[in-house]
Amino acid sequence: MESTIDPATGVALPADAIQRILHISAKVHVYNIPPMASTRGHMAAGWTDDLKRHIFTCRLRIIETAVPAPAEAPGPDRVKADIILEDASTGQLFAAAPYTARAIVESAVDSSRFFALRVQDPQGRKATLGIGFEERSEAFDFSVALQEAQKALGMLGNEGYGAAAAGLKTLPGGGSPAPDEKKDYSLKDGETITVNLSGTKFGRNRIRPPPPQQSAQPSEEAVNLSSFALPPPPGSAPSPSSSSGRAGNSFLPPPPSAQEIRAQKRMSAQDLGFDDGQFGEFA
């Protein structure tokens, strides 16, 4: 039985080691890129404009390796992931990037098809290479495979994992991190919630100040404005010559007396302006 080889170092792995390919691209361009000159990130335009920076076209694979714990020392499995650049025809290793942190792969700021890849040799020497995909769909699949590797390695929310120097991730139980335990925040029987609104706009006592008390004494302004009062209408004062005490020249006429009302009722139809008719029906 052929032994499994560590893709990054070429060292033989235990016979029970398990490997799976998370992503493979048959045609990826590799570039010698200059050091990053701006804090914005790597610019792919500087790689592709200069043809001398293109090294060669290779095959890219993302390989996940799981090494079970030995029977004499039971424990969690060791898991790691590597990004491999190799000759597509011979399979000879060109460069490997142990995926120990998300910063190992950085997207170019001016293109979604190009990335900066930090590779490392078995002696620990590091270099940054540029890689480019010809199709956007392949670049998208590459990014999705990296996210899957991050989940398997427990890198979500972290920049790396514990055994970065060895390129191995120790996981409890068998290869994948345990899911986060769900917490129960529901109220138990008899439990209550107290909401303190003090110090907020809802908890302030909005007491309106009482209206100012009006003084019984007229103010100086009111006394001064009394000089602008309108005079009474003419004829409102009672006439001294009136014997009945009624106003001689009142603004409204006095109401009719009872005698005047009875006299109006006794008026005939002719007095009211009606004709007595042909047959004298109003006579």
> pLDDT (tens digit, 9 = 90+) per residue, 68-123?
877 666 767 788 999 999 999 998 999 999 999 999 999 999 999 999 999 998 88
Please report the pLDDT score of residue 172 as a whole number.
38
The answer to whether residues 105 and 119 touch, using CB atoms and an 8 Å cutoff, is: no
Residue 234, judged by CB atoms within 10 A of its CB (0-12, 13-18, 19+), counts as: exposed
Amino acid at 47: W
Rounded CA-CA distance 34/118 in Å is: 13
What are the φ/ψ torsions at residue 180 (nearest 5 degrees)? Answer: -65, 135
> pLDDT (tens digit, 9 = 90+) per residue, 188-227?
776 777 766 666 555 555 555 666 665 555 555 444 555 5
Please report the pLDDT score of residue 67 as a whole number.
86
